[in-house]
Structure 1
Amino acid sequence: MLLRIFIEPQQGASYDDQLAVARKTEECGFDAFFRSDHFLAMGDGDGLPGPTDSWITLAGLARETSRIKLGTLVSSATFRNPGVLAISVAQVDQMSGGRVELGLGAGWYEAEHAAYGIDFPDTPGRFDRLTEQLELITGLWTTPAGEQYNFDGKHYRLTDSPALPKPLQDPHPPIIVGGAGKKRTPALAAQYAAEFNAGFKTAEDTKVLFDRVQEACRAIGRDPQTLALSTAHTVVVGKDDAQVKARAAAINRNPEDLQTTAIIGTPTQVVDRLNQYAEAGSTRQYLQILDLTDLDHLDLIASTVLPGIS
């Protein structure tokens, strides 16, 4: 199982804060640095200094890192015109030397849309847009250079697009689709994604989601083994119980409350939990780190958890 660092900068983080975590991610030997794509803080906290655009941030990190993969978990289809998003991601892929992955979802947080004047269609409407965006973006990326791409959908229309620029990765950067939807989400993952993510679930519920998306692959004649399966959880690791409690307190969480919704404990306990998800089929675990000032946390995970993951 690959371990990837995943942060939520809308809760309060500057570009420099994110750069420090990304550099530590690379230094510690983790596989990737991912960030959420949100514009409004959730829960406690004022969100200062304010949101940072995910793809502008990743463009900067692309030039200031050299090895780790970079991506979003996930960008919302409501935020950006898909043609512009295809250009942005392709450019960041070039800037990174081919290390970008695009997580794309329907969007769900209505308050951030209201706060920044972004349209928020109903759930079917958001999934309709996501469906068209997945087809449109991959269509732009895979159109041969020198040819034009046209798209005539319900929500988007492209006419005689040169379909440029091209990403560095061939045929295009990996796309991640995730969620717990029973029909449309598995179908979209099976058709367009390189990876399916089941986030913040128990190992048992994760296995149900994995089985569902693998069945969707078989339904369209795709080998399920070609779809990577991943998980995501808030992670709190301490060398002993006292440090676990201190790190939980630093993110305003109660250790007892985190037992069912997060992966928390000493290194041995965390390794055991992560391996449960590996047994369920996960090959990539996104470790959601909420205290971006605690870089020692990443050092501890790298030295005590990373070596024990199967």
Structure 2
Amino acid sequence: MRFGYFVPQGWRHDLVGIDPAEHWSTMHGLAAHADRDGSPWESIWVYDHFHTVPVHSETEATHEAWSLMSAFAASTSRVRLGQMCTCMAYRNPAYLAKVAATVDVISGGRLEMGIGAGWYEHEWRAYGYGFPDAPERLRMLREGVEIMHQAWATGRANFSGEHYTVDGAIFQPQPLQEGGIPMWVAGGGEKVTLKIAAKYAAYTNFYGSPDEFSHKSEVLRGHTDRLGRDFDSIVRSANFNTVIGTSEADVAARLERLEARVAPYLGTGATRRFIGDYRSHAAIAVGTVDQVIERLLDMKRRGLGYAIHYFPELAFDTSVLDLYEREVLPALR
């Protein structure tokens, strides 16, 4: 199994209380931790969002994903760089293919391309994108992925679709990675998203209960079989909200500190929903070291090849990284 983690960028109220002038040094320090020689982490990730969640804060920061991609590309040397996931409709796909190729060159060929149809209605409307229904968003995703595939495979793109048109667009420089930038198609939609993934993805990213993960995997297998593609050529990944401790009391204390930190910014109801995601029985990576190892080993047996962890404490307490690296990673690798 391979591993990455999210760098806090503010979207999930994970930089609250830190002066904005210190945000970059906080983010860069955590990127440098993953980038160090001998690090067990293969990748770092950010989210592609503009407004905080679950409350749309008027004052709290959410740093833009592709600006961070460029900054991390220039300030790290080993770790791979991804977004989970870029919303197709937020940028013209031809422009996005150009931006991504430039970031890949800056990074020396370390970029991962996470892509999805998008879902966060509040920021869609706030930024003037409207909010098309799900089938239309998925059609935009399909067209955009085709344009990016052409761009990186051939250096040019010609496409005339319902949503996007390019006419002889030139893409130089090309990405440094042979075959183009690896595509991560995010989402578990069985009729469209997983079908797109079966055709274009090097990686999928879908989440749910262990049984749901197994079911989505079999749906993906059906699509690859119909296309004549090797199912095992696609690495299946999932994201995990992660709070681990040496004991159940340690886990509870960490959750209490997290709740106390965000409560002044979220209010009572939103705080209850926020912390509920971590206290849910479905939170696979919340628990003691032994509990989390057992659950992730089960996911590995179901075909999980890449775990991407979101540690909500990271900007304030990096001891969770030390604990994960020392106790959990060896058992999973």
TM-score range, shorter chain: over 0.9
Tell me the amino acid that sits aligned with residue 238 of structure 1. G
Contact 2:8–2:27 (CA under 8 A) maintained in structure 1: no
Aligned-partner Cα distance in 1 for 2:48–2:157: 28
1:41 Cα offset (Å): 1.0
Once the two structures are TM-superposed, the CA of residue 8 in structure 1 deviates from its matched residue by 5.5
- Indicate which of 137, 142, 160 corresponds to 1:152: 160
Aligned mates of 1:303, 1:44 — CA distance in 2:
35
Deviation at residue 187 of structure 1 after TM alignment: 0.6
Distance 2:56 2:146 in 1: 38
Query: Shift of residue 47 of structure 1?
Result: 7.4
Deviates more, 1:286-295 or 1:215-224: 286-295
Report Cα offsets for 1:224-266 as digits up to 9, x if no partner.
0111111211011112222211222233225983331341112
Partner of 2:319: 296
- SS of the residue corresponding to residue 85 of structure 1 reads helix
SS in 2 for 1:11: coil
Alignment of 1:3 with 2:26, yes or no, is no
How high is the TM-score relative to the length of structure 1? 0.93
In structure 2, the CA distance between the partners of 1:193 and 1:70, relative to structure 1 (3 Å rule), is same
Change (3 A) 1:210 1:238: same
CA apart distance, 1:164: 2.2
Where does residue 25 of structure 1 map in the other structure? 34
Is 1:69–1:100's contact at 8 Å kept on the other side of the alignment? yes
| TM-fit CA distance, 1:45 | 7.9
Q: Secondary structure at the match of 1:100?
A: coil
CA distance in structure 1 between the partners assigned to 2:107 and 2:226 by the alignment: 35
Which residues in structure 2 correspond to 1:216-295 (within 5 Å)? 216-252=223-259, 253=275, 257-291=279-313, 292-295=315-318
Give the drift of 1:184: 0.4
Whether 1:57 and 2:77 are equivalent positions in the alignment is: no
Q: How does 1:1-310 map to 2 (within 5 A)?
A: 1-7=1-7, 9=9, 10-12=11-13, 13=15, 14-27=23-36, 28-43=39-54, 46=57, 48-144=59-155, 148-199=156-207, 201-252=208-259, 253=275, 257-291=279-313, 292-310=315-333
Q: 1:182 to 1:228 in 2, by over 3 A?
A: same
Task: Note the alpha carbon deviations across 1:189-247, whole angstroms, 9 max, x for none.
Answer: 00110001122x11111110111111111111001011111121101111222221122
| Mapped contact 1:62–1:95 kept (Cα < 8 A) | yes
Contact 2:7 2:31 in 1 (8 A): no
The answer to whether the Cα contact below 8 Å between 2:284 and 2:295 also exists between their aligned partners in 1 is: no
Query: For residues 131 and 47 of structure 1, what CA distance do their matches in structure 2 show?
Result: 33
- Alpha-carbon distance in 2 for matches of 1:123, 1:67: 37
1:268 is displaced (CA, Å) by 1.6
Identity %: 30
- Secondary structure in 1 aligned to 2:130? coil
Structure 1 spans left out of the alignment, 5+ residues = none
Which one is further off, 131-140 or 284-293?
284-293
Counterparts of 1:228 and 1:181, CA distance in 2 = 17
1:228–1:283 Cα contact (<8 Å) kept: yes
For 1:214, give the aligned amino acid.
Answer: R
Cα distance between partner residues in 2 of 1:39 and 1:181? 24
Give, in whole Å, the separation in 1 of the partners of 2:202 and 2:30. 26
The corresponding residue for 2:271 is none
Distance 1:244 1:217 in 2: 41
User: Per-residue CA shift, 1:251-293, capped at 9, x if unaligned?
Assistant: 3225983331341112121111111110010010111122232
- Structure 1 residue ranges, 4+ long, deviating more than 6 angstroms after superposition: none
Distance in 2 between residues matched to 1:234 and 1:92, nearest whole Å? 27
Let me know the Cα RMSD of the aligned residues.
1.8
How many pairs were matched up?
A: 306
Deviation at 1:107, TM superposition (A): 0.4
Q: In terms of mean alpha carbon deviation, does 294-303 or 6-15 score higher?
A: 6-15
CA distance in 1, matches of 2:109, 2:246: 36
